Structure 1
Amino acid sequence: MSTLTAQKQSAYSHLTSIDKRSNLSHRELLAEYIEPGIPVVLTDVARKWGAMGKFTPAFFKKTYGHLTKEIKGQSYTVAEVVDRIMVSSPANPAPYPCNLNIERYFPELMDELKPEIVFGKSDRIKHPLLPKLMLRGTEVYELFLGGNGASFPYLHVDALFLHTQITQLYGAKDFILYSPDQVAYMYPKEENKKVSQVDIFNPNYEKFPLFKKAKSIRVTVEEGETILFPTKWWHTTQIHEPSVSVGRVHLNTWNWADFTQDNYDLRKKNHPAVALATLAYGKVLGRLIDMQEKMSTPA
């Protein structure tokens, strides 16, 4: 076990809650949370966003109600989803997840999500030399609409080992997280190691006995707050009221190797030559960005 891995496991073992912080500098964010791989809720970073107070269920129904989204095999208009989430209950929850790619569905709203959070020494997800091919299978910006009684359908680690940022713009949402060192208790699916077989809200301990040892951390992200959690944190969500949130993925030096390797693993069976080229390119680009960040970071 490497020293860094041991340090992270030691840090995880003492975590019983997620910090909520305000007025955190970028340097403090990196040193205290991003580099050690620890989640944090930032209470004030979205305060200046145009989306705050604007991105409500009523706004999306009025402005984008005609747009359609397929959820679990059934097509709904945004207006239908909003109507459902406003009366949603645990006995009759609105369809979820209703996640919409912001850049595809409403690109004109992107300016309402600034200033952006930089989850690293630079915003690698927007590096001009990063090909779109390497982001296939994920969305960079997503809008989530949900109602009381809804929960994300499975416990998982995000695609391509990307870091995650979720901001609550309307209502609150519960996040349930399990630290990366508990992977032995997660029972990953054979066909997708980032998805757990366990239904954490109704676990089958006979089938998944080690899950009894798993220790979760639950945090409620309130309206106006932003949760950041590094890759490899297993997570799911639970909603108790109408909710509008925006998600964003991040790349930095701490998840670059996993991101590059996962791109290779996803292609090696069906497209081995493309997989090898992607892996080689990712390694070279990673070294280039490391140098760029080193030169641009004050001593």
Structure 2
Amino acid sequence: MLQEKVQQSTFSKTAGSIDRRENLSRKELIKEYIEPSRPVILTDTANKWPGMGKVTPEFIKENYGHLKKKIKGVEYSFADLIDRVLVSSAENPAPYPFSINVEYYCPELRKEFKPEIVYSKIDRINHPLLPRFMMHGTEVYEIFVGGKGAAFPFLHIDELYLHNQATMLYGSKEFILYSPDQAPYMYPQPHNPKVSQVDAVNPDYERFPLFRETRPMRVTIYPGETLLFPTGWWHITQIHEPSISIGRCHLSHANWDAYVRDEAKVWRRKENATSSFMALAVLAYGKVLGKIMDIQESFVR
């Protein structure tokens, strides 16, 4: 009860709502939401996906239950994790984040999530000239499975300054988002400016007094709905029932330079014999490739 009261008071100052749209063309999406850096929920785009209604807890357990994953240092089978998700509670939540790298564990599932939503005039993430090693530090396609009481553990901006897509396949998930102009209140970690020091659910206002000024947006997405939000939006998630969603990251002209710089930093932090060379290669190649993509997009109407 005390935690519920804290949550209510923490998120009492909201910053409006997020549009729910249908029959939105790519041109309208870019003009009305991507270019102004506004989140949006697409209510109909994923309805025709073959995987909608198919990818359930039972499906994952039956087809991938033998696979294993470590969460916070403990190894579980997918079957065990699914069982825990189904009985998860606020008092005893299932291990989270239980995330599945689709391209690593189950690449055959990619066909279940098409036609893909394209965030820009071209799909830069899947461009034939962008090798996957230049996405080091993140997963492009990632399934998240969570149970009641689970929450993403920290307030953050997504890795590599990528744009975010989350489509609900089963159950529901709540997102709490903070617009980019609230960055001065976020108290980023000294070693990682994309992660806040603040526990957004139970903030310590003595240590982080400016966090009182934040105005979050709260939204819950349901099966068939897709939440899109550009980089720069801080966010956490909370789960109130068994849920499965698939996340996909995106690139556009707006976040390309930030992505390239951050990808180079990822390689530089590896501190091995080739890390400095790879960082320089990423910067040089990324700059050239960005220009090529800009030219390609100039011919797309």
How high is the TM-score relative to the length of structure 1? 0.92
Query: What residue is the counterpart of 1:3 in the other structure?
Result: none
Inter-CA distance 131–108: structure 2 relative to 1 (3 Å threshold): closer
Residue equivalent to 1:27: 27
- SS of the counterpart of 2:227? strand
Q: How far did residue 15 of structure 1 move?
A: 5.1
Residue 263 of structure 1: how far off its partner (Å): 2.0
Equivalent residue, structure 2, for 1:176: 176
Q: Is the 8 A contact 2:15 2:216 kept in 1?
A: no
Moved >4 Å (runs of 4+): none
CA distance in 2, matches of 1:253, 1:69: 35
Amino acid at match of 2:174: D
Partner of 2:282: 278
What's the CA shift for 1:74?
A: 0.6
Q: How does 1:175-254 map to 2 (within 5 A)?
A: 175-254=175-254
Q: Which amino acid aligns with 2:91?
A: A
> How far off its partner does 1:278 sit?
1.7
* CA RMSD between the two structures: 1.3
Counterpart residue identity of residue 78, structure 1: F
Q: Which runs of 5+ in 2 are unaligned?
A: 1-13
Task: Please list the CA deviations of residues 108-158 of structure 1 after superposition, one character each: whole Å capped at 9, or x if unmatched.
Answer: 111110000000010000111112232100000001110100000101101
Q: Say if 2:163 and 2:229, in contact at 8 Å, map to a contact too.
A: yes
Count of equivalent residues = 284
Distance apart, 1:268 and its partner CA: 4.5
The 3-state SS of whatever aligns with 1:125 is: coil
Q: 2:293 aligns with which of 277, 289, 295?
A: 289
Separation in 2, partners of 1:133, 1:119: 21
Letter in 2 for 1:182: Q
Deviation at 1:104, TM superposition (A): 1.1
Q: 2:284 aligns to what SS in structure 1? A: helix
Shift of 1:193: 1.0
What TM-score does the superposition give when structure 2 sets the normalisation length?
A: 0.91
* Deviation of the 1:192 alpha carbon: 1.1
CA separation in 2, counterparts of 1:82 and 1:95? 10
Q: Which amino acid is the alignment partner of residue 283 of structure 1?
A: K
Matched to 2:112, the amino acid is: E
In 1, are the aligned partners of 2:15 and 2:215 still within 8 Å (CA)? no
What is the Cα deviation at residue 103 of structure 1? 1.2
Name the amino acid aligned to 2:33: Y
CA distance in 1, matches of 2:224, 2:122: 24
Secondary structure, aligned partner of 1:194: strand
Match status 1:55 vs 2:59: no
**Displacement of 1:265:** 3.1
Partner amino acid, structure 1, of 2:56? T
Query: 8 Å contact 2:97–2:146 — kept in the other structure?
Result: yes
Following TM superposition, by how much is the alpha carbon of 1:292 offset from its aligned partner in structure 2, in angstroms?
1.1
**Paired amino acid for 1:132:** R
Shift, 1:249, TM fit: 0.5
Distance apart, 1:262 and its partner CA: 1.2
Question: In structure 2, the residue corresponding to 1:124 is in which secondary structure?
Answer: coil
Q: Determine the structure 2 residue equivalent to 1:9.
A: none
What is the alpha-carbon distance in structure 2 between the residues aligned to residue 206 and residue 170 of structure 1?
39
Question: What code does the residue aligned with 1:25 have?
Answer: S
Secondary structure in 2 matching 1:165: strand
Identity %: 58
**Any stretches of 5+ residues in structure 1 without a counterpart?**
1-13
Q: How far 1:277 sits from its partner (Å)?
A: 2.6
Superposed, 1:253-272 pairs within 5 Å as 253-268=253-268, 270=271, 271-272=275-276
SS at match of 1:103: helix
Given that residues 172 and 221 in structure 2 are in contact (C-alpha distance below 8 angstroms), is that contact kept between their aligned partners in structure 1? Answer: yes
